[in-house]
Structures are given as structure tokens and as C-alpha cells.
Structure 1
Amino acid sequence: MRKLKQFVIVLAVAFFCFSCSSVPSLSSSPWQILTLDTDSTFADIAFTDDLQHGWLVGTKSTLFETSDGGDSWQQKVLNLGDEKVSFSAVSFHNQEGWIVGKPSILLHSEDGGSSWSRIPLSEKLPGSPYGIIALNDKTAEMVTDLGAIYRTKDGGKTWQALVEGAVGVARTIVRSHDGKYVAVSARGNFYSTWEPGSTEWQPHNRLSSRRLQKVGYGEQGELWALARGGQLQFTSPNDLDTWEDKVFPEFSTSWGLLDLNYRSPEEIWVAGGSGNLLVSHDNGQSWQKDRAVESVPSNLYRIVFINSDKGFVLGQNGVLLKYNPPSEPA
């Protein structure tokens, strides 16, 4: 009798765990799976003012160009000598483009990427360039992996420091549309925020015992945070210091969440290890899993939406997902 009870308990626990890990499947996937001829991990993607013409960057000096909106890509090789470079970000304003990476490389283009020139960086630069955003003609903002923020208004000839103190080695740094930054420490123990006009970063304790993976900004200015074990939390737009209840898009999971992005104010996509991709159509209240991409042999590191109809998910070993908007019913 005791063995029977134990069997029933084990069976119930197994059923409970299975039910926890199951999440509804997306009826049809809007993502096209592309595999480019490289073993690099992609880091960022950007388009010129011509949304058919874009650039993709990654590790091992990887640089790809598309002229058809992202359906096909051609690899480009830059003459960087014997230097081993890992590109981390690319950004365009009209035809003017910028690329940054490690160790301390900054590239600039004024012709849509047909040619790239290298801009020398000071040896005293705190850290290596991590991100860059093209803001206007000859105007861009660059952040290093230590949280030093600089702005140029003359095409990269001179740079003005926007913050006095660095934040320390960061795991991730995200910039909002209105110029705010949020950085997660290398070990995920805390996160820091910076607003334009401030001279220092403001540190914040992590939300729970789980280490932070990434923190970013939502469509309405709220913060979102990804933590170990597939945990997701949001703040309200009006109170960035108070976090709402924890959300687990897939409750029982061994893989982690690596990035989040909004396709619209209500539609949120999260990506993670082992080809995992989930979506919420109600601002995070409920979730569906895109099982059509689950077999992709890659972690999914970045989600980028150029606009609501053009998006990409960046993976490793040449894996790239392209968003194809569902056709409208007749």
C-alpha cells in the first residue's frame, strides 16, 4: 500500500511538472529561418534610410550586407590587418553609419556602408566600445562596456563625455529611445541607471536572489528585467523603483531568457537558449511558444525590430530569424 501511495505521489509530481513546463503553441510562426555561411555569433543589425539596405555585425569581424530587406545576405571583408576584432553594435542615420567593437574599434561610413574608415580612439578610453546609436548627421552617442558615455557632433573627430564616473564592467547595457541607459553588472548582482543631465550612474539592488541577465526599457518607458531561471519582471512607467509580480513565460525550464523586445505596445517577444522563442499578445499577461524554431541549433541572443513589420532574431553559428508579417485575411 505504501509503495502504491509513493507511486501515485511521484506520478502526480511528474504530471504537475509537465503541466508547469507546457505553454500553448503559436498557431503559425512568423519567423523565417536563415543560416548564413559563418560560425560567428551575431550582435546587432541596422538599416539605412533605405529599408532594403542593411548591415549585420558579429564576432570574428563578421559583417554582412543585404540589399533586399534581409532575405539574402552577402559577407563583406574589411581590411583590419591581423587584428582579431569582435563587432558589438551598428547604427545608421540615413546613409551615415557607425560600427563599434572590441578591442576598441570604431568605424564610420558616409555612403551607406560602401566604404568604412577607422576613427582612432584614445588609449585612455575607459573600457571598449559596447554600443553606438546614430542620432543625426555627424551626431552619434557611444557607450563603453564600463559605462562611459560619449557624444560626437562632428562625425567622430571629437567626443564629449556625458558621465563622470564609470559603472564598472557591465554584462549588458541598453539605451532607451529618449537617451536613458540601464546596465547590468558583470555578475548580475545589481543594475544601474543613467539619465541625460546626470553626472553619475545610479546603482540599484537586484530584484531577488536570482542573478540578473538583462534589463531594458519598454514601450511606455517602464523597465523590464530578465533573471536566471526564465524569470521576467516589469515596473510601471510612472514608478521605475517598484517591480510588479514575477512572470515566468515558461514556468519550468532549464534554459535562460537572453533578450526581450516589443513589436507593438502589446506584443512582446522573448528569446533564450536552445532556440527558445515566446510571444505575448497582451503585454505579458499570457504567453505562447513558437515551436517552429525550437529545433534551431542556436541560442537566440538578440531581438531587433526596425519597425512593426521588420524584425530579426540574432543567433550563433550564422543563425538569423527574419520576421514576416502574417498576411491579412481576405
Structure 2
Amino acid sequence: MLAPVGMAMALIVTAASIYSFSPRHVTPLQETRIPVDRMQLTTIERSKAGLVIAGELGSILVSADDGRSWQQAALSHDRQALITRIVFDDESRGLALGHEGWILRTEDGGLSWKEVNFDDANGEPLMSARQLPSGDWLAVGAFGRVLRSTDDGQSWQADSLPGLTDWHLNDIASSADGQHWMIVGEAGTALSSADGGQSWQLVEPFYNGSLYGAAHLGGDRWVAYGMRGNAFVSADHGATWQEARVPAPISIYGHALLPDGELLLVGQGGIVLSSKDGGKTLSIVRREGRASLTDIVVDADGRWMLSSDGGLQIRPAASAKPTQNDGAA
């Protein structure tokens, strides 16, 4: 009786072994895809490497084919901190700024990044940075945080600007010739410089809410924009400001200036605003979805590349048409 049982068990083991090593069909794994259309993205820029986007959990992504495919950039340190903005001084050199005083530097258009600053003990979010004509980099951020680099972004030291309190500083921008500069922030904070950033003066308050960005429109003209549909224009390099006519009470987070002088502003509710009169009046040229648009790059063929808190959006130039509700309020 034991012999038949033993033989049966041997046959079972042999069959199992044969089956385990026999060839059989395996369902292929799905292609790994970076979900750029569902990520929280705060910034988009173009460099020699292509499109560069960044945002949640310290993600920096690069596309060499105009957004059809993406690859993760190489980071020397992965801090999992939100990246707030990417800026390039030329096609190769740039900075990525983030929470906890995080600064990363690239020399290859954004394919690889080296950490040059991080402060988890006293690391307020950094919001913007630019390289001054002197060669110094200036970075600004939350609670009046100012950092300066005198070695092309390799190292950073705390700095200060005249008259600042602990209001957040959200953007630093310059004129095309690098002579005139603006810094804007919380509670209508604005500073200007007329000597390439060597000295700064507080601008007489013209708004008591947050300003998120500023742009030079050519000549003496500037625009500053912020929360709840507030935008302002200046025709004297920021000495005085007038309120612009904005057709929707949305917060405005980013902009693009086209070669023909048209100004595009992006913000809440998937809204894109356009101005062709130097920022004095704006019309709604796109209203789609609920995502907040955070930044915009306009491609050579006119396509809009939009970062948002709901992912990357790519829209053809044909979408740049006024909606039915574009009257000024």
C-alpha cells in the first residue's frame, strides 16, 4: 500500500516541477507612464533640453518632443519638497526653487540638478530668483526671506532688502535690458530698482492684497498681478500704478509675453486672460475646467503649454479666441 502512495506522490512532484519550468504565456506589464496630466505642477519653462516642468514631491520632468513623452530629471538629492518655480538665465543654466529653502542648480538645461541649498530647520519656501547684471543671484520667498549667491548659484547666504517686513515675497522680475527690476509680494509689497538691482526702494503701496507676479512690457511699462482679479499697470517703471480692468475675480499666477506684445495671464478656473493694450484691459480667451493654471509657455507654433494643479495642459493656438463672457467688469 505504501509503494503506490509513494509513487503517486513522486509523480505529483515531477509534474509540478515540469509545469514550473515549462514555457507559458505571461500577460505583459503595462508601459510605465509619468502621469503629467494628473500631477500638481507649479512651473513650466523651455531650455535647450526641451520643456521642463516641476511641482509635487520635488518632481522635475523634461520633454524633448514638445510634451509627447517625459523623463525624470536626475537630482543629486531627493527631498520630496514641493518645487515652486524653475528659472533659466540662459538655455543651459538655471535654478529650481522649493520649500525648506531648497535650491537646485542645472548646467545642462534641466536634465540633471545639483542641490546647492537646503534648510529643514529654518527653510521657508522660496518663490522666485533671478541673476542680476552684477552676476549675483537673488532669491526671494516666504516671510521676507532673501538669499544671495555671489558664485553663480553655487552657494547661498542670507541677505536683506530695505524696509522689508515678514510679508511673503512672490516674484522678482526685470526689464529686457536688466536695468530696471521689480519685487512683488504679500500685502501689496513692492520694491523697485533702477540700477540693475544694486539698490532697492519700497514702492508707495497701491494695493493691500497679495501680488503674485510682475512683468516688464517694454519701455517704461510694467504689469503686476495677484489675488481676486487684481492687476495693475505702470507707465513709469513702477513709480505709480493704475488698476487694470479684469473681467473675472480670479487669482492670477503666471504670464507669458508674446513677440507681438500680447500679454497672457493665467489663473484660477482654467482661465487665460489676454491684453493687447499694455495690460490696461484684459479679456477672457479661455475658460476650461476647474484647475488653477500656474504658468504658461507659448510654443513657436502658437501652442499653449500650461502647468496647473491638475496636471499639464497643451492647447492649440486656435484655442486663443475670446469667449462669450469676455467683457470687462
Q: Does 1:116 align with 2:117?
A: no
Q: 1:286 to 1:122 in 2, by over 3 A?
A: closer
Query: Contact (CA 8 Å) 2:59, 2:83: kept in 1 or not?
Result: yes
Query: Contact (CA 8 Å) 1:56, 1:65: kept in 2 or not?
Result: yes
Q: 1:85 to 1:247 in 2, by over 3 A?
A: same
Deviations 1:60-92 (A, max 9, x none): 2121110013344334574645x4311122234
TM-score using structure 1 length = 0.67
The one of 69, 85, 88 equivalent to 1:89 is: 85
How do residues 93-108 of structure 1 correspond to structure 2 at under 5 angstroms? 93-108=90-105
Aligned equivalents of 2:71, 2:159: Cα separation in 1: 36
Q: Does 1:211 align with 2:209?
A: yes
Which stretch of the first structure deviates more once superposed, 260-269 or 317-326?
Answer: 317-326
Match of 2:256 in 1: 261
SS in 2 for 1:303: strand
Match of 1:231 in 2: 230
Aligned equivalents of 1:141, 1:205: Cα separation in 2: 26
Q: Does 1:296 align with 2:282?
A: no
**1:48 CA drift (Å):** 2.6
Q: 1:265 to 1:112 in 2, by over 3 A?
A: closer
SS in 2 for 1:116: strand
Which stretch of the first structure deviates more once superposed, 196-205 or 56-65?
Answer: 196-205
Q: Structure 1: any 5+ residue segments left out of the alignment? A: 1-34
Q: Does 1:132 align with 2:129?
A: yes
Query: Contact (CA 8 Å) 1:194, 1:202: kept in 2 or not?
Result: no
Q: Does 1:60 align with 2:57?
A: yes
SS in 2 for 1:60: helix
**1:103 CA drift (Å):** 0.9
Whichever residue aligns with residue 226 of structure 1, its letter is Y
Whichever residue aligns with residue 150 of structure 1, its letter is R
Q: 1:118 to 1:324 in 2, by over 3 A?
A: same
Q: 1:70 to 1:286 in 2, by over 3 A?
A: same
Q: Does 1:270 align with 2:262?
A: no
SS in 1 for 2:57: coil
Query: Contact (CA 8 Å) 2:132, 2:197: kept in 1 or not?
Result: no
Q: 1:149 to 1:305 in 2, by over 3 A?
A: farther
Deviations 1:294-329 (A, max 9, x none): 232301122345779575332112133456489xxx
Aligned equivalents of 1:118, 1:213: Cα separation in 2: 29
Whichever residue aligns with residue 299 of structure 1, its letter is S
Q: 1:164 to 1:282 in 2, by over 3 A?
A: closer
Query: Contact (CA 8 Å) 1:57, 1:64: kept in 2 or not?
Result: yes
SS in 1 for 2:289: coil
The aligned length equals 276
Whichever residue aligns with residue 153 of structure 1, its letter is D
Whichever residue aligns with residue 313 of structure 1, its letter is L
Aligned equivalents of 1:91, 1:74: Cα separation in 2: 19
Q: 1:286 to 1:37 in 2, by over 3 A?
A: closer
The one of 139, 146, 153 equivalent to 1:143 is: 139
SS in 1 for 2:259: coil
Q: Structure 2: any 5+ residue segments left out of the alignment? A: 1-34, 320-329
**1:248 CA drift (Å):** 2.4
Query: Contact (CA 8 Å) 2:146, 2:159: kept in 1 or not?
Result: yes
SS in 1 for 2:190: strand
TM-score using structure 2 length = 0.67
**1:156 CA drift (Å):** 0.6
Aligned equivalents of 1:36, 1:126: Cα separation in 2: 27
**1:263 CA drift (Å):** 1.4
Query: Contact (CA 8 Å) 2:42, 2:83: kept in 1 or not?
Result: yes
Deviations 1:118-162 (A, max 9, x none): 2245789885433234679xx662313125242333551466958
Match of 1:70 in 2: 67
**1:235 CA drift (Å):** 1.2
Match of 2:325 in 1: none
Aligned equivalents of 1:153, 1:88: Cα separation in 2: 23
Match of 1:11 in 2: none
Aligned equivalents of 1:308, 1:223: Cα separation in 2: 26
SS in 2 for 1:290: strand
How do residues 17-56 of structure 1 correspond to structure 2 at under 5 angstroms? 36-40=36-40, 42-49=41-48, 53-56=50-53
